[in-house]
Amino acid sequence: MLLDTKEDVISTDELRKRLYKTLRDRGVLDTLKTQLRNQLIHELKPAPLSGAEPSLRSDSYLISACNNIVADYLLNSGYEYSLSVFCPESGLSQEKVFKKGDLLQHLKISPESPLYKFLVITAKHCNVLLFY
């Protein structure tokens, strides 16, 4: 006796929808979009002139701190999609974004310093979530 397998078979459209939802829910879709965007940008950039060396980032410490400030802002403001795009493009891991204390230590800013107090007051005045 043959069993009715019609219930076990899903349409290609339903398979596509389920696959899309699974990839989106697991964050794979955003990662793939970011990788594709980065690859397109890389391919479209003009090739460096022969004999010219790519410039090295001598201020990578400062760039790292700035990237972490932006990532912390996006995280605390609820901009998950923007954060999912920003982290791979900046070389950060979403799980390893510096928290307030780590960032202050990284920048060598004491919470008791006048600079810290100035940043907090300025951020509050501008309605920006920074060092709260």
Report the pLDDT averaged over residues 2-17.
75
What is the structure's pLDDT at 100?
74
Residue carrying the six token digits 């995280």: 75
Query: Long-range pairs for 124-128 at CB < 8 Å and ≥24 separation?
Result: 128/73
56 pLDDT above the threshold of 50: no
Confidence band of 94 (pLDDT split at 50, 70, 90): confident
What is the structure's pLDDT at 18?
92
Q: Which residues contact 99 (CB under 8 A, 6 or more apart)?
A: 72
92 pLDDT above the threshold of 60: yes
